[in-house]
């Protein structure tokens, strides 16, 4: 990894940042950033699902006064592209999440701080002055500490809490193990330093590695209910891949849903998020905003996600690639490129604002089962 950041002149799309980032990161860091679970079937499928959806071009529409603005939970955003929570930005850039926050503000992008950030919440919030940030939460075995963490994020100015619910255990990450990724190459999450040590499973030969006490402290629906009662901030659940869970989440008081398979990093052979999104959006039926992540690399992907029921999208790996290559300027540039492509796609499918984006922009052969979505909450 180089400390000298500048935007290479041959970067014209997100894939170019990925190519450059590969040469900037160590083998272990690259495996952590780029890898998925097991055979990485879901990781590949996330990308392939977008390519399988076709758009319908439209001509001679009145696009005057167009924009990409939306309102989420009472806050106005200039565009529907957010930075997903990603741990350990220090692998990509010495300034870690500080650099990401500066880039997010520059791109006018919402930014979700990870529980496992390499930088304190308060420091990141200070760098994000002028922008909107949310806080992603992993419920810890120490529930009192978990609630204190939410209070810290609230005091720092977080506009929402995003509970990641799909990783009670880590995925089987073969690529990381082959590259020798161990906790030693990752900084200890600074925001968890005061938490009490968790249970350490010590399974003997022939005993379960997962169910021998470790899973007993995993988050449950009752923990979500306590969290809902403890915060007045909008509360989203991230990691929803089943309409039944989406329906229950709303019934339990969730203000939003993030359709996510954790970037293919937890359970392999899950469907792509774009395969699950229309089904989940249909079940939600506009009751709360639905966001989606996983595999987004082009502005056309953003348009397809919104046409299939999302209110906004989150990107993860692409902005980490840009962070590794060009620091905060890279993050801002990556988002701006994606936004520009999205605006082009809107114009060429006859969409003046986000309210015009619906299943009608999809070619008929790929419209089956797609659902629209409310853009406001």
Give the catalytic positions in this structure. 262
Q: Is 193 annotated as a binding residue?
A: no
Q: Is 336 annotated as a binding residue?
A: no
First vs last Cα of the chain: how many Å apart?
41
Inter-CA distances, 251 with 126, 256, 257, Å: 35, 11, 12
Query: Is 295 flagged in the annotation as binding?
Result: yes
264 annotated ligand-binding residue: no
β-strand 81-83 against 312-315: which pairing, if any?
parallel
Residue 246 to residue 86: CA distance in whole angstroms:
23
- The answer to whether 296 is annotated as binding is yes
Q: Is 184 annotated as belonging to a binding site?
A: no
Find out whether 164 is annotated in a ligand binding site: yes
Q: Is 19 annotated as a binding residue?
A: no
Q: Do the beta carbons of residue 256 and residue 73 sit within 8 Å?
A: yes
Q: At what angle do helices 96-106 and 317-348 cross, to 10 degrees?
A: 10
* The dihedral sign for the CA sequence 266, 54, 360, 318: positive
Does 297 belong to an annotated binding site? Answer: yes
Any binding-site annotation on 317? Answer: yes
Q: How many residues does the chain have?
A: 377
Q: Tell me: is residue 262 an annotated ligand-binding position.
A: yes
Residue 75 per-residue DSSP state: E
Q: What is the DSSP letter of 172?
A: -
Residue 138 marked ligand-binding:
yes
Is 114 annotated as a binding-site member? yes
- Here the tokens at position 196 are 């009490």
Q: Which two tokens stand for residue 74?
A: 């009472």
Query: Would the annotation count 353 as a binding residue?
Result: no
Known binder of ligand: residue 56?
A: no
Alpha helical stretches, state H, 112-231? 121-127, 143-156, 174-178, 221-230
CB-CB neighbours of 39 under 10 Å: 13
> Is residue 32 annotated as involved in ligand binding?
yes
The one-character DSSP state at 348 is: H
35: tokens are 């890898």
Q: Give the side-chain half-sphere CA count within 13 A for 27.
A: 8
Annotated binding site for FMN: 85-87, 114, 136, 164, 238, 293-297, 316-317
Annotated binding site for glyoxylate: 32, 138, 173, 260, 262, 265
């Amino acid at each position: 990894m180089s400390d000298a950041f500048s935007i290479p002149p041959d970067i014209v799309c997100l894939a170019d940042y990925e190519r450059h980032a590969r040469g900037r990161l160590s083998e272990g860091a690259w495996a952590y950033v780029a890898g998925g679970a097991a055979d990485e079937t879901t990781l590949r499928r996330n990308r392939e699902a977008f390519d399988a959806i076709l758009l319908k071009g439209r001509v001679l529409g009145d696009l005057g006064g167009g924009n990409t603005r939306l309102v989420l939970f009472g806050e106005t955003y200039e565009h529907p592209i957010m930075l997903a929570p990603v741990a350990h930005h220090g692998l990509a850039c010495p300034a870690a999440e500080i650099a990401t926050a500066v880039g997010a503000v520059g791109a006018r992008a919402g930014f979700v701080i990870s529980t496992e950030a390499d930088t304190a919440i308060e420091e990141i919030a200070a760098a994000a002055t002028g922008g909107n940030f949310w806080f992603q939460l992993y419920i810890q075995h120490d529930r009192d500490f978990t609630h204190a963490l939410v209070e810290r994020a609230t005091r720092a100015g977080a506009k929402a809490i995003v509970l990641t619910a799909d990783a009670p255990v880590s995925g089987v990450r073969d690529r990381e193990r082959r590259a020798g990724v161990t906790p030693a190459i990752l900084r200890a999450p600074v925001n968890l330093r005061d938490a009490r040590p968790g249970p350490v499973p010590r399974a003997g030969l022939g005993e379960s590695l997962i169910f021998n006490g470790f899973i007993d402290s995993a988050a449950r629906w009752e923990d979500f209910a306590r969290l809902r009662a403890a915060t007045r901030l909008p509360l989203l659940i991230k990691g929803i891949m089943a309409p039944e869970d989406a329906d229950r989440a709303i019934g339990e008081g969730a203000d939003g849903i993030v359709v996510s398979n954790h970037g293919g990093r937890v359970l392999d052979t899950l469907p792509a998020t774009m395969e699950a999104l229309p089904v989940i959006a249909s079940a939600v039926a506009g009751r709360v905003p639905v966001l989606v992540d996983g595999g987004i690399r082009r502005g056309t992907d953003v348009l397809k996600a919104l046409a299939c029921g999302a209110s906004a999208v989150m990107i993860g790996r692409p902005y980490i690639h840009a962070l590794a290559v060009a620091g905060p300027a890279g993050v801002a540039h990556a988002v701006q490129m994606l936004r520009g492509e999205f605006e082009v796609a809107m114009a060429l499918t006859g969409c003046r604002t986000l309210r015009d984006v619906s299943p009608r922009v999809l070619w008929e052969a790929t419209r089956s089962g797609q659902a629209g979505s409310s853009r406001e909450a």
